[in-house]
Amino acid sequence: MATRAADPAGPLIDIEGLTKRFGSFTAVDDVTFQVRRGEVLGFLGPNGAGKSTTMRMLAGFMIPSAGTARILDHDVQTDSVAARRVLGFLPEGAPTYPEMTVEGFLRFCAKIRGYTGAELADRVDHALGLTTLRGVRLQPVETLSKGFKRRVGLAQALLHDPPVLVLDEPTDGLDPNQKHEVRGLIAQMAPNKAIVISTHILEEVDAVCTRAIIIAGGRIVADETPQALSERHASGKLEDVFRALTMEGAV
């Protein structure tokens, strides 16, 4: 964790030439990018473009066919436990154990992260507070609605206040109020962290992201600020830029 001290301005996430092939199909093709502290990177692309696959490789869950991913200088393949210690990861669909209570589930994650006693209780309570889950803390996860489940997944990723957050569709299934809250939360945490969120809600990019990468057919087709991106099209709408970039990528 102290490795960054030597170079405080260096990237917290460093992905180089990341490639994933499934048989003859290339899901992610030579993806390279860095994310620095204070950046909120919106990871955009149509379904099946390779967003989740890239995030899974970054989280060390999927083994890349080629290339490397590093989190705070820890290679996610060769130094995976150290890399995952400084990572908060919300997997696609926010999976949780259905029979556990919200608090039980978060306590389990906190325990695995090495917290004990009063600190463990504090961490769990803080995460419950951030995601406004205190009201349902004793409810089994399976009885919760989709939006609550998503927030349980988010709470799990925030437990240890990690410097790097990778969130796969954090606002999917939330109602407009909850979306607003989560975006507020991301914006509030942004200055001290490197955050990657995948989404196909384009308004979200305008709302919280400082930078956007559009991926289509496994390749990066754009990497700039949301503003610069929307200026690419005469209409000035991100939606039109997105369509133009990803449709041509598909052909």
Q: Which residues lie below 8 Å from residue 162, measured CB to CB, with a gap of 6+?
A: 86, 87, 88, 193
Give helix then strand counts, H and E, for the chain.
9, 10
Query: Contact with other proteins (CB under 8 A): which of 19, 62, 121, 178?
Result: 62
Q: Is 151 in the site for other proteins (CB under 8 A)?
A: no
Given the complex with other proteins, which of 87 and 195 has the nearer CB atom? 87
Given the complex with other proteins, which of 99 and 203 has the nearer CB atom? 99
In this structure, which amino acid lies at residue 231?
E
Q: Is 99 in the site for other proteins (CB under 8 A)?
A: yes
Q: Is 82 in the site for other proteins (CB under 8 A)?
A: yes
Are 190 and 210 in contact by the 8 Å Cβ rule? The answer is: yes
Shortest gap between Cβ of 207 and other proteins (angstroms)? Answer: 27
Pick the stretch among 93-101, 117-125, 193-201, 217-225 that binds other proteins (CB under 8 A): 93-101
The residues in 103-142 that bind other proteins, with binding defined as CB under 8 A, are: 108-109, 111-114
- d(C-alpha 162, C-alpha 37), whole Å: 12
- d(C-alpha 28, C-alpha 52), whole Å: 10
